[in-house]
Amino acid sequence: MSGRKHVRTYVGLGALRGCLIPVVACVVAALGTVLVPSLSVQPAFAAERRIVVIEDADYFGADYRTVRDVDLEACKATCLDDPICQAFTYNVSASWCFLKSDFGDLKKFKGAIAGRVVAVRDAPSVPAVAERRADLGYLPRSLSDEAERYASSLADRFYANGAGLGALTRDADAAMAAGRTEAAHALFGRALTLAPERFDLWAGLAQSALAAEPDDWQARQRLQEAASAAAVNAYLRSGNDGERVRALELIARSYMPRQLWKPAIRSYRLALTIRDDDTLRADYEKLVAEHGFRIINHQVDSDAAAPRICLVFSEKLQTARPNLADFVHVDDAPGTSVEVEDAQICVDGVRHGGRYAIEVRPGLPSADGETIEKPVRLSIYVRDRAPSVRVIGRAYVLPSGKDPTIPLVSVNTGLIGAEIYRVGDRAIAELIRSGRFLDQLSAYRADEIRNDTGARIWEGEIEVDQVLNQDVTTAVPLDDIGIDLKPGAYALVARPANDARNQWGPFATQWFVVSDLGLTSYSGRDGLHVMVRSLASAKARGAVTLQLIAANNEVLGEAESDEAGYARFAPGLARGTGGMRPAVLMARAADGDYAFLDLAKAAFDLTDRGVEGRPAPGPLDVYAFTERGVYRPGAQVHAMALVRDSKAVASGDVPLTFVFARPDGVEHRRINSPDGGLGGHNVTLPLSPGAAQGTWSLTVYADPKGEALARKTFLVEDFQPERVDFDLETDATRIDPQDPPEIALSARYLYGAPAGGQRLEGEITLRPTRTWGTEHKGYLFGLADEESYPNSQALPADLVTDEDGALSFVPLLPETPADTQLTQAEIVARLVDAGGRFVERTLSLPVAPEGPRIGIRPLFEDAVEEGGPAAFNVIVVDETGARQEAKGLSWTLSKLERNYQWYQSDGTWQYDAVTTTQRVDTGTLDVSDTDVAALSLPVQWGQYRLEITVGGAAPTATSVDFSAGWYVADAGSETPDVLEVGLDREAYRPGDTAKLRLKARFPGVALISVMADGLVSTQTVEVAQAGDMSIDVPVTEDWGTGAYVTATLYRPMDIEAKRMPARAIGVQWLGVEPGDRRLDLSLEAPEQMRPRNTLSVPLKLANLAPGEEAYVTLAAVDLGILNLTRYEPPAPDAWYFGQRELGMEIRDLYGQLIDRMAGTRGRVRSGGDGMGWASRGRRRPRSPWRCSPASCASATTARRWSNSKCRTSTAPCV
**CATH class, 517-608 region:** mainly beta
List the helix and strand counts (H, then E) for the chain.
Answer: 20, 71
Helix (H) or strand (E) holding 127: helix 126-135
User: CA 416, 421, 425 angle in degrees (round to 5)?
Assistant: 150
Cα 894 to Cα 16, 745, 786, 821, 857: the distances in Å are 65, 50, 16, 20, 17
Residues of the chain with pLDDT under 50: 1-46, 122, 967-970, 1169, 1173-1214
CB 150 within 8 A of CB 230: yes
**What does the alpha-carbon distance between residue 296 and residue 312 come to, in Å, rounded to a whole number?**
6
Give residue limits of the domains in the chain: 6-211, 295-381, 388-515+1151-1180, 517-608, 609-721+1106-1141, 738-763+779-972, 977-1073
**CATH class, 609-721+1106-1141 region:** mainly beta
* pLDDT at position 802: 94
* pLDDT at position 1036: 92
**CATH class, 295-381 region:** mainly beta
Distance of CA 913 to the CA centre of its chain: 14
Burial class (CB in 10 A: 0-12, 13-18, 19+), 1177: exposed
**What does the alpha-carbon distance between residue 766 and residue 764 come to, in Å, rounded to a whole number?**
7
**What does the alpha-carbon distance between residue 1133 and residue 623 come to, in Å, rounded to a whole number?**
10
Question: How many residues does this entry show for the chain?
Answer: 1214
Asked if the domains at 295-381 and 738-763+779-972 fall in one CATH topology, the answer is yes
What DSSP letter does each residue of 681-722 carry, written as one string?
A: EEEEEEPPTTPPPEEEEEEEESSTTS--SEEEEEEE------
Cα 434 to Cα 426, 427, 969: the distances in Å are 14, 11, 12
Cα 735 to Cα 62, 348, 605, 823: the distances in Å are 87, 38, 29, 10
* pLDDT at position 47: 57
- Fold category of 977-1073 in CATH: Immunoglobulin-like (2.60.40)
Task: Write the single-letter amino acid at 678.
Answer: L
Helix (H) or strand (E) holding 1021: strand 1015-1023
* pLDDT at position 257: 93
**What does the alpha-carbon distance between residue 1012 and residue 671 come to, in Å, rounded to a whole number?**
33
Q: Which residues contact residue 97 at a Cβ distance below 8 angstroms, ignoring those fewer than 6 apart?
A: 66, 67, 68, 70, 74, 75, 78, 79, 88, 89, 90, 91
Residue burial 1045-1057, b: 16+ Cβ < 10 Å; e: rest:
bbbbbbbbbeeee
* pLDDT at position 26: 33
- Fold category of 738-763+779-972 in CATH: Immunoglobulin-like (2.60.40)
CB 1040 within 8 A of CB 1013: yes
**CATH class, 6-211 region:** alpha beta
* pLDDT at position 270: 94
**What does the alpha-carbon distance between residue 944 and residue 933 come to, in Å, rounded to a whole number?**
20
**What does the alpha-carbon distance between residue 98 and residue 79 come to, in Å, rounded to a whole number?**
9
* Closest to 197 in 3D by CA, of 155, 166, 163, 236: 236
